[in-house]
Chains A and B, each alone.
Chain A
Amino acid sequence: MSLLKKNWVKQALRLLRHELKRGELTIVVLAIVLGVASVFSLAGFSGKIKQALINESTSFIASDRVLQTSRPILFEQKPLEQKLAEQKSSENNLLTRNSMDKKSQQLDIKQAQQVLMSSMVFAGDNMQLVEIQAVSSGYPLRGELRVSFDNNLATNESVHAPKLGTVFIEEKLLSLLKVKLGDTLDIGEASFIIAGIATQIPDASFSVFTSGVKVLVNIDDIGATQLIQPGSRLTYKYLFSGDERDIKSLDDWFKPQVNDSQRWYDIQSKQSPLASALNKAEKYLSLASLLGIILAAVAVAVASRRYAEKHQSSVAVYKAMGASSTYIKKLYYLHWTLLSALSISLGLLLGYLLAQLGLYAIQDYLPVNVAIKDSATSFLTTLLTPLGFYPLIMAILTGVICSLAFAITPLKELVATSPLAVIRAANLGGSGASLSTKAFYFLPQLIALFLLLLLFSQELMLSFTLLIGGILVSALLLIFGRILMKVSRSVGTKSGAAWHLALANLQRRAKANSVQLVSFTLAIKLLLMIIVIKSSLLSEWQAQLPEQAPNLFLVNIAQTQVDKVEQFIDEQNIVASDLYAVIRGRLTAINDDKIVKEASKEENDGSDNGRQGVGRELSLTWRSHLPNENIIEQGTWWTDAKPQVSIEQGIAKRLKVKLGDNLTFQLGSEVITVPVTSIRKVNWQSMQPNFYMIFSPQVLADFPASYISSLHVTPPQKILIQRFLSTYPTISVIDVDAMIAQLRKVIGQVSIAVEFILVLVVFAGCLVLIAQVQASMEEREREIAILRTIGAKGSLLRNSVLLEFVALGAIAGLMASVAMELTVYLLQNYLFKMETSFHFEFWLLGILAGAGFVGLIGLLSCWRLLTMSSVTLIRRTM
């Protein structure tokens, strides 16, 4: 209470109340509010979106992390003495189920297990080779296993592992084995009741080479089948899911323990189209957020400087009346603190509303696909949970850092105002500061900006690059802007009176204007950048999933069936890739070196950290022409008839294979050795059959092969295909419609997120522009008053003000476009790893938008001045 009675507290509150009411602090408040609101909503919204996306996409691996291994992780069953001895001797690094369970329990992480194997299953007289997927009761941890319990697949529900003694099978097995629900299926030594038809298996492999039909059994039943024998080829998957932070801790715990025969992965480390889209979206969201923060910070910097300038005369009066420096400090620091606190609170409120609004908007515009409608609801439940502490803390920190660091120097200057300023107004403003003083002036701001960037991106290099790049660009712009203004002046002398006056004004205020110009330019540049990258990201994603993207793969087509299949495809006008021959073979030697361990496997979705034993089979093919989406990086595609092979660059690097090396393959009983004549870059994200090794036709043409093809089929065509294939039961179909739909949905969500953030960044940009225009308002007021007094017509003044801002905006727009082009080129090349391109159409947008917007804001801001009577104007300013 006693504090409230203190005069400086009373006066600070009084000043704040009046100034807020009179709108004198609006720009400062808006700048901080927007900074805080954009960080809060960006962090909250993009955090939610990311979480939702990851939840959505982790369903592709049915968990957050997977430990995959060919040998089971066992429970430790050792006598006590041995354990003690081991503990004594050294830290035992061997991964055990005990330690895994203990760690998971510690971190509150859910677990599930899977065992995968190929096996024959029998139903009466029929048999079929299938992929057995034995799952524990927790499966799936992410995503949904949807099973239909009626033969017509009319309904389906989300379930976990099948009950003991039952199995879920994929639909095609019904026709292959001529069975229906409730029938018995024999697997190994055990019999199971077919309880349901799996319509969606979250981690169903998206590889055209895993053609097996899936049968899901309960992991506790696997013993009864007696399928697990010494030498059986099995894959064990241990699935984990939990909170982001806990999963990160689990990552840290697991990574050092994972050995060569084990793989530890998440969705992002999979080289799938989805992971790639996710990665880019995430980078974009963070980048956009960073740029938003920079813009908001610039707005705070400009506004706080103006705040200090506006209050200088009051401080001088206070001091002349005998207020001590301490008193002034207390008064104005409190005033600023209250103002910041108020603005931060308003910012948090607005940010929360914006984030919720964004989430709400997504709720309405979600690209809901009928097939995946149900999973959309789960997506929304994720969204509607509270935003969490991270965005809140980030936003408050942003507000505090902005309002402290960006205001500290202007505030210090403010409280140091000499009382003499009451007599000599010229002393205001502290003009004529030396360059080093100016550098010192900006130092706290730069440090703050760096801190903000680091805080938000948690990437040292990115923050540093953005900062240094920003400083360099600003310096260059400053110089360039002055030159441009000088040039425009000499052009202006040849044009009409309004233009002449406008350009003369521009140049006269060159120093102030070039600072304004830099911030206009930076604002426009950042906006252009966000728009350009957004549009190229979206078009890249769309290109990846064109309307006619293959949604069906035909696999295992026998040589004798090729003509029939081709004929059918032609007759039905189905869009299809060529038929590719697939011949299984092992790479056994590179030059004279026998391969000991490392080889590739195409079965694993092309993920590149897989390590397989000696002689793992590869799917090989032969072509006379280079397939689409393949680019020769080294060597040349064959034109002659010599035996040779073209190798994919990733595997070439891994195997250290160079042009000219001889590769030896074993195909059945035959051994062939061919030289590498080209190294190819393959777009693994294209939905078409892709191969590590492509041979020249002469090498493989005589080997027995099966064929695969990818097709784009419409729903009616799909029925025709099913009918057609019923005559060729050995041909397998892989339907990726559901997966494509899911991918489209994810990309749709990302796009909306990206647009939302764009809107926020545009707001921040506009605010910088407004704050800058406002900053020069008093000087303009004086000038307009003088011009009015000497008889300048209203229309001349209006036009000259408009044209001055238009010219300023156009110059800023042009410079922004050049700067944007450069930055986007670097970003696309290094950050997004996209095809680079030029965007001249956006240059025009930059210039026009710059001229239009800056002109409009300038004119609107000065409108009141321009329409005032001369007497009022003079009275206000004299």
Chain B
Amino acid sequence: MKSNPEIILKTQSLAKIVTLEDKQLNLLHDVNLTVTAGQTIAIVGSSGSGKTTLLSILAGLDLPSSGEVYLKNKAMHQLNEEQRSQVRADHVGFIFQQFLLINSLTALENVMLPAELAHNDDAKKLALSLLAQVGLSARVNHFPAQLSGGEQQRVAIARAFITKPDILFADEPTGNLDKQTSEHIADLLFDLNKQFGTTLVLVSHDLTLAQRCQRQVEMRDGKLIDTQSSVKETSVQTEQIA
């Protein structure tokens, strides 16, 4: 359990500008965010508001055009791809909307993967136990194509927790699932998160899911608005976020 309220994630004046056909697009603009260890935070917002862009920079998958990002006190904006990889390997877990399991690996092998990358000798034991926790003991040797969407996401959740990451980024974890399955997946996610005391950064347009987080922030035209109330104003989106 991580009870120390240290700052695990911090951004300062974050901006992301891309050039598309000679036009400059400000995807992110002056984003300031601080997340303490163990916190669960939901980033909500309409399609194209910049949620996913923010997530990719927070997780070190992408670099900001300007501004600063600190993850576990590491200045991510100053690190190269390799160094950011190392930070991810040491501290970060992911859950994606598209599940992103490796099709040619079994459920068990998919879950073992991050542990193996972290040179954990107990990868298999840990993976089996996590798969049991998400209720997939009977399907450990199945390939992703042989699993339903909900089952695939359960594998992805098990995979995300196997390295006991300090921070978990979840990008629309229920976006591709029906309502009932979504609820089940959300339960699993929050249960495991509680169990491992992981910091959770969740991107979603699903307000019910967002409200299960301790804190909600909203992205609007590339800007971050850190208010509880703003969540309620955001209309429910049904379309998928590109």
**Interface residues of A, Cβ cutoff 8 Å to B:** 7, 10-11, 14-15, 18-19, 22, 24, 313-314, 316-327, 418-420, 422-425, 875-876, 878
The minimal Cβ–Cβ distance linking A315 to chain B, given in whole angstroms, is: 10
B48-65 residues with Cβ-Cβ distance < 8 A to A are: 52, 55-56, 59, 61-62
B70 an interface residue at 8 Å Cβ cutoff?
A: no
1/0 per position for B52-83, CB-CB distance to A under 8 A?
A: 10011001011000000000000000000110
Q: Which 7 A-B pairs have the closest CB atoms?
A: A322-B89, A322-B88, A18-B104, A19-B104, A321-B114, A7-B116, A314-B102
- B126 smallest CB distance to A (angstroms): 15
Chain A, Cβ-Cβ closest to B159: A321
**Interface bracket on B:** 35 or more
Contact B96–A422 (Cβ < 8 Å): yes
Number of A-B contacts (CB under 8 A): 89
Q: What residues of chain B lie closer than 8 Å to A22, measured between beta carbons?
A: 104, 143
Q: Which of A18, A326, A327 has the most CB of B within 10 A?
A: A18
Known: A320-B61, A322-B118, A420-B61. A15 touches B94 (CB 8 A): no
In the bound complex, CA of A22 to CA of B105 (Å): 10
Given A10-B116, A15-B104, A420-B62, does the pair A321, B56 have CB atoms closer than 8 Å? no
B109 touches A14 (CB 8 A): yes
Smallest CB-CB separation from A423: which chain B residue?
Answer: B56
A247 to B105, alpha carbons, bound, how many Å?
Answer: 57
6 A-B pairs with C-beta separation under 8 A: A18-B104, A18-B106, A319-B85, A322-B89, A420-B62, A424-B56
Closest A residue to B63 by CB, please name it. A420
Taking A419-B61, A422-B96 as known contacts, 19 extra A-B pairs with beta carbons closer than 8 A to each other, sorted by chain A number, are A11-B113, A14-B109, A15-B104, A18-B143, A22-B104, A24-B103, A314-B104, A318-B113, A319-B85, A322-B114, A323-B117, A324-B82, A324-B89, A326-B82, A419-B88, A423-B52, A423-B171, A424-B52, A425-B98
Centre residue among A320, A326, A418, A420 by max chain B CB count within 10 A: A320
**Distance in Å: Cβ of B102 to nearest Cβ of chain A:** 5
Residues of chain A within 8 A of B116, CB atoms compared: 7, 10-11
Q: Which of B61, B143, B171 neighbours the largest number of chain A CB atoms within 10 Å of its CB?
A: B61
Contact check, B104 vs A325: say whether CB atoms are below 8 A apart: no
Question: Are A422 and B100 in contact, CB atoms less than 8 angstroms apart?
Answer: yes
Q: Does B105 contact A321, Cβ atoms closer than 8 Å? A: no
> Complex: how many Å from CA A322 to CA B92?
8
The answer to whether residues A322 and B143 also contact, given A22-B104, A317-B102, A422-B61 and a CB cut-off of 8 A, is no
Interface residue B182 (Cβ < 8 Å from any Cβ of A): no
Complex contact A322–B86 (CB within 8 A):
yes
Rounded to whole Å, the gap between the CB of A10 and the closest CB of chain B is 7
Q: Is the interface of A mostly helix, strand, loop or mixed?
A: helix
CB distance from A13 to the nearest CB of B (A): 12
Given contacts A7-B119, A420-B62, contact A320 B105 (CB under 8 A): no
- Residues A317 and B100 in contact in the complex (CB < 8 Å), given A422-B61, A423-B56: yes
Task: Pick the residue among B56, B86, B89, B100 that contacts A313 (CB under 8 A).
Answer: B100
A7–B102 touching, CB < 8 Å: no
Task: State how many angstroms separate the Cβ of A65 from the closest Cβ of chain B.
Answer: 59
- Whether A419 lies near B96 (C-beta < 8 A) is no
Candidates A7, A10, A325, A422; contact of B85 at CB < 8 Å: A325
Shortest distance from the beta carbon of A786 to any chain B beta carbon, whole Å: 15
The minimal Cβ–Cβ distance linking B42 to chain A, given in whole angstroms, is 17
Q: Judge whether B176 is part of the interface by a CB distance below 8 angstroms.
A: yes
A418 to B100, CA, bound (A): 15
The residues of A that contact B119 with a CB separation of less than 8 Å are: 7
CB distance from B2 to the nearest CB of A (A): 19
Query: Do B85 and A322 touch (CB < 8 A)?
Result: yes
Contacts of B52 in A (CB 8 A): 423-424
Point out which of A10, A14, A22, A425 has the most chain B C-beta atoms below 10 A from its C-beta. Answer: A14
Roughly how many angstroms separate A7 CA and B120 CA in the complex, as a whole number?
10
| With A321-B113, A422-B61, A875-B149: A15-B90 Cβ-Cβ less than 8 Å | no
Partner of A320, one of B86, B88, B101, B176: B88
- Give which listed residue, B85, B109, B145, B176, contacts A419 with CB less than 8 A: B85
B102: chain A residues at CB < 8 Å are: 15, 314, 317
Taking the nearest CB of chain A, how far is it from the CB of B98, in angstroms?
A: 8
A327→B89 CA distance, assembly (Å) = 12
Smallest Cβ-Cβ distance to A326: which chain B residue: B82
Quick one: given A24-B104, A422-B61, A422-B96, are A321 and B117 in contact (CB under 8 Å)?
yes
- When distances are taken between beta carbons in the complex, the residues of chain A under 8 Å from B145 are 876
CB-CB under 8 A from A422, the residues of chain B are 61, 94, 96, 100
- Please report the C-alpha to C-alpha distance between residue A324 and residue B114 in the assembled complex, in whole angstroms: 12
From residue B167, how far is it (CB to closest CB) to chain A in Å? 12
Q: Is the CB of A322 within 8 A of B117?
A: yes
Chain A residue nearest in CB terms to B102: A314
Contact of A15 among B62, B86, B105 (CB under 8 A): B105
Q: Is the CB–CB distance between A322 and B90 below 8 Å? A: yes
Inter-subunit contact A325/B92 (CB<8 Å): no
Measured between alpha carbons, how far is A876 from B98 in the docked complex, in Å? Answer: 11
Q: Chain A: which residue is nearest B160 at the CB level?
A: A321
Which of B59, B85, B98, B109 is close to A323, meaning CB atoms less than 8 Å apart?
Answer: B85
Q: In the complex, are the beta carbons of A327 and B109 less than 8 A apart?
A: no
Contacts of B85 in A (CB 8 A): 319, 322-325, 419
Q: How far is the CA of A316 from the CA of B100 in the complex (A)?
A: 9
- What CA separation (Å) do A319 and B94 show in the bound complex? 11
> Chain B residue with minimal CB distance to A328?
B85
Provide the bound-state CA to CA distance between A19 and B104, in Å: 6
* Inter-chain contact B56/A18, CB cutoff 8 Å: no
Nearest chain A CB to B77's CB is how many angstroms away?
Answer: 15
Which residue on chain B has the smallest CB distance to residue A327? B117
| Cβ distance B23 to chain A, nearest Cβ, rounded Å | 16
Measured between beta carbons, the chain B residues less than 8 angstroms from A321 are: 88-89, 94, 113-114, 117
Query: Residues of B contacting A419 with CB < 8 Å?
Result: 61, 81, 85, 88
Partner of A18, one of B92, B105, B176: B105
> How distant is B55 from chain A, measured CB to nearest CB, in Å?
7
Residue of B nearest to A875 (CB): B149
